[in-house]
Structure 1
Amino acid sequence: MERMERKPKLHQHQHSEITNDAGLPLDLIIDILSRLPAKFICQFRCVSKLWRAILSPPDPVLQNLHRNRSNSTPLLLFFYNSYHYIFFSSLDTQGQLQNWFTKQIGSPVQSRRFCQGLMCLLCSEHVYVCNPSTQELLQVPYSSKLCDIYDFALGFLPSTNEYKIAHWFLERDRNLDMVMVCQLFTIKGGPNSHGTWRVVGNSPHFLSVRRHPICVNGSFYWLVNGLRNSGNSMKILAFDLATEEYETVLCPKTYSGRYDDTDQLLSIEGSLCLVYGKQGEPHIDIWMMKDRKNQIWTKEYSFDIFATNRPLWILQYIPSGDGRDEEMLIWSQKGCLLFYNIKTRCIRNMGNLINKNIGIDFDMGVHLWPHLYFDSLYSLGAR
């Protein structure tokens, strides 16, 4: 009797050697699928056993191709919460509705964070992570420390393809001094997304609840008050998700912002940027960190934005592509959502289109602040 050899998993095969029943190479199937929205790709798991093997969880080659193609077609993701229900709507940059869905959750959402296609929702009794593209909702194990939460964030570590939820809380050390402690939860993706919370150390600065961290290239960044007699009144605190260590980053030498100004941190094309604009004035300066190791900044943008309602906050940077110029997504003084074309210096108002396509009043304010969103196949191993 001949010995039967166990076939390796599909992902271990050379893609060019695998064909389906119709004789199509797997490479071609993956190339076709990578051009489709994630919600359709998820539905194709029922087509055949081969496609289910490719899509549950998504093949790594498919994920990479899909991610690269999605990066050229940014979407705007709107989230709103009503009692025990959450609602997601995504629109393209012309205001056309692309996708929407709703989910029931255990308790109302108190706060949320967004990073690289996923959203983390903090509720009074639960913590969830959601992929709006695949409509997966993962309930994260609750930690008693979340009752004392000071701030929290969702980050992505590209080197391991993992997402990490971080939250900071205050407690007293052995000397009875108040310290800020960080706790992390890692999401690995796929059926083994579940993990545990663990404490990783204390922050050297007290963070400001007014300035939430952003994640750029696997590190969290905050604007914090500078130390006395240190020159600039503002500093940037960094937390590396790979090494789990803190570092203080100096602001650009030509930056003169104060804590009460409308300055903020932004991610532009994968680089950390510092945005500075004085309250009530239309002028905006944006510095980009060109060399993270040596902390070298360059002033990348400097422009004036004149509009009926002067802008207060730059929400997102929208890259150029598909005949589209680079734009800044801006939240203006009276709730208007504006697109500022950096090349032509023209402004277009998205508010009316959003009201029409989402079906609710955009003047609800910060609860509808959009996130720049790229369609994602990242699997949470949950439905």
Structure 2
Amino acid sequence: MALQCYTKLIHLFKKIKSSTSSSRCGLHDERPLILRHFSHPSYLKISISDGNSINKECKISGELPSFVSCCNGLALLTLSTPKRHIIFNPLKNENITTVYAPYRGGEICGFFFHPHLKKYAILSVQSEYNGYGYGYGYDYNLYSLFESKNWRKIAGPYNFPWPLYRNPAIVNNALHWLTNDTITVFDIITEEFSTRSLPIDKRECRIPRLLVKDEDRLCLCYVNCEEPVMDIWILEDYAEWSWVKKYSINLDWDMSKYPVEESFDTRWELMAKIKVISIHNNELVLYWKHRGVFYYHLELNTLEKIDLRVSLIDKLTCNDFNSLSDFEAYSAVKCDQCLV
């Protein structure tokens, strides 16, 4: 009888262990891919990693290339002389199409997929030209890919809400940028701009980051400049614009276990090197420059560092990692959205 009970306990333990292991593997399998890009004056290098290995690498030649953003697995790149934008599929290493910038140039501030028209679009902003020169206002142009294939002017805020980051968070069929002390919103369906408030006074000593949580809710990450803490706010109700501070992460990590490869003078300099890549399945993915890429589980409070393969990107990366070398969450093109 005792032997039978012992056998059942062993069987139950193995079953629990197997279930836990499968659950953890499933969590890791569902992690978003990480796209890393590096801009060299004569080429742009892109690598896609699953966190353990490099799945794909490609290099695009051109004059002063830069990475703008990605949408459903397609990447938007910008090259100069003449200024043009390339829609690129990194997994296939394939140039989908080339779009020349609108008259007088402009800067790309959005790349998205229209849920109703089932087509991709590019949003551009440029200084207003009044016939005598460039004024203080701004014009907005929209380009619909794979259909009309031309730029058209749309109504937008006259005063440029600088900084209007080129890689907005897309939630509820709208683009969201963190602009000064507000959030600027562009409705994809109505093509109208609006502004919304932040859940916290940005004038405090904090470094904000804007991204999407699980692809359905806005998430604001604030890094305190004076204390090693990251507060994460979740937009619980979009219609009511109701925010909740759900997590406060202690960033005072063991320096001996997770060393910083470069010296810093102040804590602000150290905290300012953090870039949030994504939040998915309660797991925060962040890049800490000169320290590495980390997975932090928000519920379990577990930390895992990813050892990136050393490459030419690491040797040539400069301090301005937000423009020349950076990371993005990446997902493959969905079948119903691959119209190219």
| Counterpart AA for 1:300 | K
Cα distance, 1:243 vs structure 2:
0.6
Aligned pair partner of 2:54 in 97, 101, 105: 97
Q: Which residue of 1 aligns with 2:329?
A: 372
Aligned pair partner of 2:141 in 160, 165, 183: 183
Q: Which residue of 2 aligns with 1:127?
A: 85
Q: Which residue of 1 aligns with 2:228?
A: 282
Q: Which residue of 2 aligns with 1:60?
A: none
Q: Which residue of 1 aligns with 2:305?
A: 349
| Counterpart AA for 2:276 | L
Q: Where do 5+ consecutive residues of structure 2 fail to align? A: 1-28, 261-269
Give the 3 Å change call, closer, same or farther, for CA 333–165 of structure 1 in structure 2. Answer: same
- Are 1:264 and 2:209 matched, yes or no? yes
Q: 2:328 & 2:236 partners in 1: Cα distance?
A: 25
- Are 1:145 and 2:90 matched, yes or no? no
Cα distance, 1:174 vs structure 2:
9.4
Q: Where do 5+ consecutive residues of structure 1 fail to align? A: 1-70, 226-233, 321-325
Give the 3 Å change call, closer, same or farther, for CA 73–340 of structure 1 in structure 2. Answer: closer
If the length of structure 2 is used for normalisation, what is the TM-score? 0.73
| Counterpart AA for 1:299 | K
Higher normalized strand content (fraction of residues):
2
Q: 1:268 & 1:314 partners in 2: Cα distance?
A: 15
Cα distance, 1:146 vs structure 2:
5.2
Q: 1:129 & 1:166 partners in 2: Cα distance?
A: 14
Q: Which residue of 1 aligns with 2:169?
A: 215
- Are 1:235 and 2:182 matched, yes or no? yes
Cα distance, 1:202 vs structure 2:
2.4
Q: 2:248 & 2:338 partners in 1: Cα distance?
A: 39
Q: Deviations over 1:150-203 (max 9, x none)?
A: 55221233333322211111115699962121111122xxxx456111111122
Q: Deviations over 1:250-274 (max 9, x none)?
A: 222xx12228731121111121122
Identity of aligned residues (%): 21
Aligned pair partner of 1:247 in 181, 194, 217: 194
Higher normalized helix content (fraction of residues):
1
Cα distance, 1:371 vs structure 2:
1.1
| Counterpart AA for 2:207 | T
- Are 1:170 and 2:115 matched, yes or no? no
Q: 1:183 & 1:298 partners in 2: Cα distance?
A: 35
Q: 1:157 & 1:260 partners in 2: Cα distance?
A: 37
Give the 3 Å change call, closer, same or farther, for CA 334–265 of structure 1 in structure 2. Answer: same
Aligned 8 A contact 1:290 1:297 in 2: yes
Q: Deviations over 1:17-64 (max 9, x none)?
A: xxxxxxxxxxxxxxxxxxxxxxxxxxxxxxxxxxxxxxxxxxxxxxxx
If the length of structure 1 is used for normalisation, what is the TM-score? 0.66
Cα distance, 1:206 vs structure 2:
1.8
Give the 3 Å change call, closer, same or farther, for CA 85–161 of structure 1 in structure 2. Answer: same
